[in-house]
Every structure is written in structure tokens, then in C-alpha cells.
Chain A
Amino acid sequence: DVVMTHSPLSLPVTLGQPASISCRSSQSLVHSDGNTYLNWFQQRPGQSPRRLIYKVSNRDSGVPDRFSGSGSGTDFTLKISRVEAEDVGVYYCMQGTHWPWTFGQGTKVEIK
């Protein structure tokens, strides 16, 4: 199975400041159809996961534009331009290129 690795695992941030989470895969996530299926999920405390971004950089409906995704091949990044209190939680990358789909171990974002 493809291994997804986050860094850092914990990210204390100041309100209003940017945050960046890295995710690396053990294999290229370029699918045979030409797409790269790297997705990001947010899990707020006590809530179910919520998909934020799909195919590297496409925001889901209702996701604030302070969230952005980038990357290619095996290296990907989720950025929050200005962290707000509601952004506290754990963020997971997930690959949908190689079956079975797999998640990273998550990055916990907390306010300093």
C-alpha cells in the first residue's frame, strides 16, 4: 500500500498567521488517466472528517479560499493563508490513485 507521510505532525500557529502542512507519498500519485488524486481532509475536534480539497488543488464547495493545495508527483502542500480559530483540528492527506486509498497520519493544528 502507498504510505503517506505528514510533516510536521503538530503545528502550533498564531491566529491570523499562515500555516503550511506537507504530505509526501511513497509512490508517484499520477494516475494512468493523467490526474493526480491527492485529497485533503479536515477533522475538527469531535466531528467527522470533511473533505477540503480534491485532486491536489480543487476546493470543495463551502471551503474558504484561505485554504489552498499544491504539489505534484510525490510532494504536496496544504496552506492556510491566515489561520482562524475554526481551523483548529487534524488535517489528513489521502491518496486515491493506488487502491486501496490510504491516509497520512495527520497534522494537528492548534492555536499558540
Chain B
Amino acid sequence: EVQLVESGGGLVQPGGSLRLSCAASGFTFSDYYMDWVRQAPGKGLEWVGRIRNKAKSYTTEYAASVKGRFSISRDDSKNSLHLQMNSLKTEDTAVYYCARDGGNSGWYLWGQGSLVTVSS
């Protein structure tokens, strides 16, 4: 079955760090660019960042709101994607989705989401 499964969410204090993971299965993970998209409680969808594939040298890009604090990595040998979040702020509280790039037509495959709560 083609799927993405996130893990690693939880409660963290402001200024703290957290690492999310996304396990991919059912498709050739290494071929695809992968993204993180988040959704604050009761709010809309916000693209967080992207990591490209080996052919594109695993280059990354980030939304301005997280640049310098968040880092995306991948392990193609384990079909896994990671989001390292540092210097967390209360406004980073959200459900974080990993999603498989579908090119200009957006994301067709999404995970179930992982809730990150930043609070003291």
C-alpha cells in the first residue's frame, strides 16, 4: 500500500527542539521530492519545506517562517524523511504533514499528520 506515516510529535517548551519522522512505503521513495506542510489549530495549510532527490543533490528549501530553525533530511536507504525543528515558538504549534511532491499539481499523497504543541 502506498502510504506515508509520520511520528515524533508531542509537547515541547518554547525554545526547545523536536524531530519528526515520516516513513514511506509502497513507492520508490528515492525518486521523489518530499515536503512538509503544516496546519495550525483551526487554520489553513502552510508549506514548510522541501527536500529534493539525489538527482537534484538533496537540495532543500524552506518557508521564511521557519528558515534557519528547521532542517529537512532524508534517508533513502530507509525510505524515511525527517524534520528537525529547533528554537521552537508557540506559533509553530500545528499538525505537521509529510507529503509526496506531485510537481506543479501539488501533493497527491499525504500522511496522517503529527501534532506538535509548543507551550510552557
Contact = CB atoms under 8 A, between A and B. Distances in A.
A92 interface: yes
Given A48-B113, A49-B110, A96-B106, A105 B61 contact: no
B: interface residue count bin: 10 to 19
Contacts of A55: 105
B42 to A, nearest CB: 10
B56 to A, nearest CB: 14
Nearest to A90: B44
Contact of B104 (A35, A50, A103): A35
Interface in A74-108: 90, 92, 94, 96-97, 100-106
A54 interface: yes
B107 A51 contact: yes
Nearest to A49: B110
Contacts of A43: 45
Contact of A92 (B44, B61, B110, B111): B44
Interface string B99-112: 00011111110111
A12 B48 CA distance: 31
Given A48-B113, A100-B63, A106 B44 contact: yes
Interface of B: 37, 44-47, 61, 63, 97, 102-108, 110-113
Interface of A: 31, 35, 37, 39, 41, 43, 48-51, 54-55, 60, 90, 92, 94, 96-97, 100-106
